[in-house]
Each structure stands twice: as C-alpha cells, then as structure tokens.
Amino acid sequence: MPAAALRRLDSVAAGRSRSSLEDVAGTAGLVVAGFDALTEVMGCVVLHVGFARPVCGYWGLVGTGYRARTVVSGADSHGLLPAGRAVDRAWGTALARLLAEAALVGADGVVGITATRRPIPGSATDVEFVMLGTAVRARSATRSARPFATDLSGGRFAALIRSGWIPTGFAIRVAQGIRHDDWQTRSALSQWTANVEVDGLTELVTRTREDARRGFTARMSGLGGEAAVVSSMTLRTWHQEAGENHVDHLAEAMVAGTALVCFDPAAAARAGAPLTMMPLTDPPPTGGQGVRSAGSAAPRAGGRR
C-alpha cells in the first residue's frame, strides 16, 4: 500500500480526520442507522490482457450439419476460461484491497461501493479495475469479525438495517461466451433479410447471462447470504475474425450485487409487504362531495361541467 495512503489511514484511525463519498442524504441515513462515516477507501489493480484468442469449437461439429454451438467460460475452456478467471480475479483483488484499507481504520463495513473498469491511456492491452467506497463504523461496542461490503448507498443501507437485514458482502461475477457465425446466423444478419430473430446471437447472450447468474448465486451463498440484491447486470458483445470467412461473436456478462442476512426477524416482519397497487385518485374531501379523479374540475353552479 502506498505510504501516502497509510498516512491517511493512520490519521483516520487516530480520529484526527474523517471524509466520505456519500452525499448529504446518504450521510444522514448512516447516522439514523447508527453508523458513522470514517473515510473513503479504494482498491485497484491493473490487468495486462495477454494474447489468448478464444476459439469457437466449430470444427468439432463435423457430421452435424456444421451448426455452431455456444461456448461459455463456466462450462468449457476454448480460451474463455483463462480470460474469464483473469477478470474475476482482478475484481476480487480490487475488492480485497478496498476491504484491507477499511480494516486498517477499524471499520465495520464499506457502503456505496462503485466499480469502474477502464483502459489505461496509451495502452491497448492494459485495463484498470477500481473500487471505491466509504468505510463506516457502528456506534456500539460490538464489532464485526470482518468488514462487510455493499454497493448500496447510505440511505438504502439505513433502510435495510431498520428492516432487520444487514449486508454480508459484495461480489461481481463475470462470464464470457463465444459462438461462430454459421450460415444461419450470416443469413439472418444479411441486409436483404426481413425483420427476423437471430437465433444464434439470442442463444449466445442468453447462455452467457445464465452463466454469470449461476456464478453470482454461488458467490452469494459463499458469503453466507440468505438473500441477494442484484444492483447491476450488464452485457457487451463484439466480434472477431478468426480467419478468412470465419467470424465469431463474443459476449461478456457481468452481475454485481450484495448478499444479505436477516438479524432481526421481528423488524423484518414489521416492515410488511410493499404495496402492490397505488390509487391514482384524490382522497375523499372532508365536505362529503365524493371522490374526484386527479385533474378533474369541479362543476360550476347552475351550469355544465
């Protein structure tokens, strides 16, 4: 850890300075929940993306009409497993470094985590993974065994605590998929084709998302979560030309969220179920005139409405 960061964390641990990435509403929510913001914390890692072109496995389909299949990083390698694991490891390292900073200042957890991935300027193969958040500490004598982590803001975290739930951890799961553009896909993508579904690409994005969700669920269970809040699910696609007249489409899905456990079942029961319907009419007036719909005008005396 850089010396400047250690000096800042030592100052926070000694109670000489405090800072927060939360806005006014988020800071107020933390106070209501019984927590104090200590300082902003960060974890980052720069990953060099080496040459490991994934292959689609198209040549292994001889005798089946050369119909392509979708390969995902969680099930087959084909060059995808090392790349997917490298990205997962980068996010995990950034999160571990963020939590290490939180532990140095005696924090009970980190809220409002943001995860950013950006290329290093001037480099086509280096990518930076950054996580930022606000370290918080409970105003109580009980300390958590290890800092929790969540991307929920201070206000949402407060609502969670008052409902009897608390975060146990934050996780990101990345999955990648690849599919060869067979003749059916190329035909559907042709400019002369009418509005039709591209079955091959539908299968690619669907299976890639499924693989990411499957891995995310496993990580939530590993964090001891009884439930999970999915905060984001993103997808990006691109294509590569593996050879002459050989084009593959690739997809990368990312799921991020927070694992939760219930520490006060009574508070969770008091919170009740959310409203399934919201009336769009005005409340009845006290004068007994009945209910008027919003925006309607009152009738004029002696005349038409």
Sheet of 165-180, strands arranged across: 70-72, 165-180, 246-262, 227-243
Which residue type, as a one-letter code, is found at position 15? G
* pLDDT for residue 220: 94
Model confidence at 60: pLDDT above 50: no
* pLDDT for residue 249: 85
Structure confidence at residue 131 as a pLDDT band (50, 70, 90): very high
Distance, in Å, from the CA atom of 55 to the CA atom of 222, rounded to the nearest integer, reads 31
- Mean pLDDT for the stretch of residues 164-189: 85
Structure confidence at residue 297 as a pLDDT band (50, 70, 90): very low
* pLDDT for residue 11: 65
* pLDDT for residue 196: 82
Higher pLDDT, 50 or 116: 116
pLDDT in tens, 150-175: 999 999 999 999 899 999 999 999 98
Beta-bridge partner residues of 114: 132
Structure confidence at residue 201 as a pLDDT band (50, 70, 90): confident
* pLDDT for residue 176: 87
The C-alpha torsion from 65 through 71 and 77 to 78, rounded to 10°, is: 50
Structure confidence at residue 98 as a pLDDT band (50, 70, 90): very high
Q: Residues 19, 40: contact at Cβ < 8 Å?
A: yes
- Are β-strands 246-262 and 227-243 bridged in parallel, bridged antiparallel, or unpaired? antiparallel
Q: How big is the CA angle at 23 (ends 144 and 35), to the nearest 5 degrees?
A: 25
Structure confidence at residue 287 as a pLDDT band (50, 70, 90): low
Structure confidence at residue 124 as a pLDDT band (50, 70, 90): confident
Distance, in Å, from the CA atom of 38 to the CA atom of 134, rounded to the nearest integer, reads 7
Mean pLDDT of the chain: 80
Distance, in Å, from the CA atom of 146 to the CA atom of 260, rounded to the nearest integer, reads 15
Cα within 13 Å of Cα(1), Cβ side: 19
- Of the given ranges (110-114, 176-180, 205-209), which has the lowest mean pLDDT? 176-180
**Which candidate, 207, 133, 214, places its Cα nearest to that of 170?**
133
Name the percent of the chain lying above pLDDT 90.
40
* pLDDT for residue 193: 75
Structure confidence at residue 77 as a pLDDT band (50, 70, 90): low
Model confidence at 12: pLDDT above 50: yes
Model confidence at 304: pLDDT above 80: no
User: Quick one: CA dihedral 147, 174, 161, 268, positive or negative?
Assistant: negative
DSSP H or E run through 239: strand 227-243
The two structure tokens encoding residue 15:
């109670």
- Of the given ranges (174-178, 210-214, 299-303), which has the lowest mean pLDDT? 299-303
pLDDT in tens, 248-263: 888 999 999 999 999 8
Higher pLDDT, 302 or 13: 13
Distance, in Å, from the CA atom of 81 to the CA atom of 91, rounded to the nearest integer, reads 16
**Which candidate, 5, 14, 17, places its Cα nearest to that of 41?**
5
* pLDDT for residue 62: 47
Query: Residues of 22-52 as b/e, b for ≥16 C-beta within 10 angstroms?
Result: beeebbebbeebebbbbbbbebebebeeeee
- Are β-strands 126-138 and 165-180 bridged in parallel, bridged antiparallel, or unpaired? unpaired
* pLDDT for residue 223: 93
- Mean pLDDT for the stretch of residues 200-209: 90
Model confidence at 226: pLDDT above 60: yes
Q: Which domains does the chain have, with CATH numbers?
A: 13-271 (3.30.110.70)
